[in-house]
């Protein structure tokens, strides 16, 4: 038998851009909202890069960037500044992006994955988004138009250490980062809409102690679905090159989801290529202890903390706790309902189960209503059988096809009916009673 040896170890680091959902842009008072907005309507001399226009930093965006840093266990800089990153592209009218070079707002953080792997956070800094090139055909001619609505929207860049060795870890990290950002309420962090964008730096090493002498950056991964595919493809490509005794070219590649491949875009640029220098129009920033403490105090409970708390306080299993901390909306709903329900001694487990088993549509019934329904049913010991029968008959009438299926022998469809009835009763009926009544009535 041949011994299978893994020849190369993947060395992966991430760069993530997150668009903040502040009201105004980073350096001007323009409305920062730009999704499905008439082109070039949210613009002014500053974000169009007209001569003489002066940038004024958005204090809220800086605070939110620092909040992200705290949530990622970073240290916060006492002194920080903005720098100009110079390059040319049509969507960058100034010819430079205002970013941060050697004094990022936040640095040296970490996130621990569930398998214990520590992912270092190199830095979290503040910058501005660019405009958007729009490719169109007008009067039969292919043209590129520029929309500056996105130009100057606050953008936070999060850079990790090259600590990932497995694709699965990248996936877990991104999902937990997205969750943290959503719980902070500072961004939608939506990959499909571009409010969370990912660049992956990848190389392969045959010596775990040493970083390889090249790295490839892969861009254009616009959905969670493609993270794993893009990385897997690229690592395979690099393996083949190394097997041939060559070294992969240091470059930037774009992932093309239609063909599931990465395509070379350009040679990878170095920091020096951008001729960074301090932004002369914005004074350096100084943050005192009182300011920084105030930001730390603003940190809400993060999803992981909530998850542990739910398990400990209410004895929920991993699955239920996970479900209740999936989005800030659902966990807030649950916690509000529990709070409102304490007086009438409603068991948090009842509320959790109703939510988890989709017995109620929590987007349609508010926590107050839910709790009052539950306490009513607690007092009355639920709906009477006659009331339940009425509801069942209505559900039957609305789902004649399901009833026919059941009668033809596909008894598994009964779940559909039970679910419908439970939803109609808004959790006020006993599930066992509903179950036996349905079976009875189907005979």
Question: Using an 8 Å Cβ cutoff, are 276 and 83 in contact?
Answer: yes
Region near Zn ion per CB under 5 A, out of 38-46, 153-161, 192-200, 395-403: 38-46
Report CA-CA distances (Å) from 382 to 13, 232, 263, 429, 440.
55, 54, 62, 5, 19
Task: Give the interface size with Mn ion as a residue count (CB under 5 A).
Answer: 1
Q: Report what 30 binds from Mn ion, Zn ion, none; CB cut-off 5-8 Å by kind.
A: Zn ion
Q: How many CB atoms lie within 10 A of CB 229?
A: 16
- Tell me the residue number closest to Mn ion, measured at CB: 157
Residue number with CB closer to Zn ion (149 or 176): 149
User: Taking the complex as a whole, how short is the minimal distance between the CB of residue 33 and Zn ion, in angstroms?
Assistant: 12
Residues 18-37 that bind Zn ion (CB under 5 A): 28, 30
Residue number with CB closer to Mn ion (127 or 147): 127
Region near Zn ion per CB under 5 A, out of 45-53, 86-94, 168-176, 178-186: 45-53
Residue of 129, 147, 157, 279 interacting with Mn ion (CB under 5 A)? 157
Which single residue is written with the structure tokens 């559900």? 395
The token pair at 120 is: 């270092």
Q: Report what 146 binds from Zn ion, Mn ion, none; CB cut-off 5-8 Å by kind.
A: none
User: Taking the complex as a whole, how short is the minimal distance between the CB of residue 189 and Mn ion, in angstroms?
Assistant: 16
Task: Give the interface size with Zn ion as a residue count (CB under 5 A).
Answer: 5
Residue number with CB closer to Zn ion (47 or 181): 47
User: Taking the complex as a whole, how short is the minimal distance between the CB of residue 157 and Mn ion, in angstroms?
Assistant: 4
The token pair at 95 is: 């010819």
User: Taking the complex as a whole, how short is the minimal distance between the CB of residue 55 and Zn ion, in angstroms?
Assistant: 9
Residue number with CB closer to Mn ion (88 or 213): 88
The C-alpha atoms of residue 92 and residue 102 are separated, in whole angstroms, by 22
CA angle (294 as vertex; 289, 299 as ends), nearest 5: 125
What's the burial of 245, exposed, middle or buried (CB within 10 Å: 0-12/13-18/19+)? Answer: exposed
Strands 216-221 and 251-256, by their bridges, are: parallel
Q: What is the DSSP string of 93-116?
A: TTSEEEE-SSS-SEEEEEEE-TTS
Region near Mn ion per CB under 5 A, out of 153-161, 199-207, 346-354, 373-381: 153-161
Contact residues toward Zn ion (CB under 5 A) are: 28, 30, 44, 46-47
């Amino acid at each position: 038998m041949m011994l299978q040896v893994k020849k190369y170890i993947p060395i992966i680091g991430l760069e993530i851009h997150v668009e903040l959902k502040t009201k105004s842009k980073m350096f001007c008072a323009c409305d920062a909202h730009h999704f499905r907005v008439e082109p070039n309507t949210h613009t002014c001399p500053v974000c169009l890069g007209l001569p003489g226009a002066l940038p004024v930093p958005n204090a809220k965006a800086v605070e939110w960037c620092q909040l992200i840093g705290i949530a990622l266990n970073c240290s916060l800089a006492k002194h920080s500044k903005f720098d100009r990153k110079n390059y040319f592209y049509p969507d960058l009218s100034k010819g430079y992006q205002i970013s941060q070079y050697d004094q990022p707002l936040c640095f040296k953080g970490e996130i621990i994955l569930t398998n214990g792997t520590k992912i270092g956070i190199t830095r979290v800094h503040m910058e501005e988004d660019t405009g958007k090139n729009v490719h169109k055909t007008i009067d039969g001619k292919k043209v590129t138009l520029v929309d500056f609505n996105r130009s100057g929207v606050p953008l936070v860049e999060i850079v990790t250490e090259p600590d990932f060795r497995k694709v699965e870890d990248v996936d877990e990290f991104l999902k937990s980062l997205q969750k943290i950002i959503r719980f902070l309420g500072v961004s939608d962090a939506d990959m499909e809409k571009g409010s969370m964008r990912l660049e992956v730096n990848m190389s392969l090493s045959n010596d775990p102690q040493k970083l390889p002498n090249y790295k490839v950056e892969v861009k254009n991964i616009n959905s969670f679905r493609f993270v794993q595919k893009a990385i897997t493809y690229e690592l395979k490509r690099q393996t083949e090159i190394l097997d041939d005794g060559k070294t992969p070219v240091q470059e930037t590649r774009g992932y093309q989801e239609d063909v599931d491949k990465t395509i070379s875009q350009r040679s990878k640029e170095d920091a020096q290529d951008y001729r960074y220098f301090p932004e002369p129009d914005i004074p350096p920033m100084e943050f005192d202890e009182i300011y920084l403490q105030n930001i730390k105090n603003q940190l809400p409970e993060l999803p992981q903390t909530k998850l542990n708390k739910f398990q400990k306080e209410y004895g929920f299993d991993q699955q239920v706790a996970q479900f209740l901390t999936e989005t800030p909306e659902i966990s807030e709903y649950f916690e509000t309902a529990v709070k409102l329900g304490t007086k009438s001694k409603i068991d948090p487990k009842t509320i959790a189960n109703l939510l988890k088993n989709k017995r109620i549509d929590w987007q349609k019934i508010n926590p107050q209503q839910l709790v009052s329904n539950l306490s009513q049913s607690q007092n009355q010991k639920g709906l009477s059988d006659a009331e339940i029968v009425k509801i069942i008959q209505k559900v039957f009438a609305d789902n004649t096809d399901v009833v026919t299926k059941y009668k033809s022998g596909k008894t598994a469809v009964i779940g559909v009916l039970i679910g419908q009835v439970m939803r109609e009763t808004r959790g006020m009926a006993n599930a066992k009673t509903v179950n036996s009544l349905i079976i009875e009535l189907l005979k």
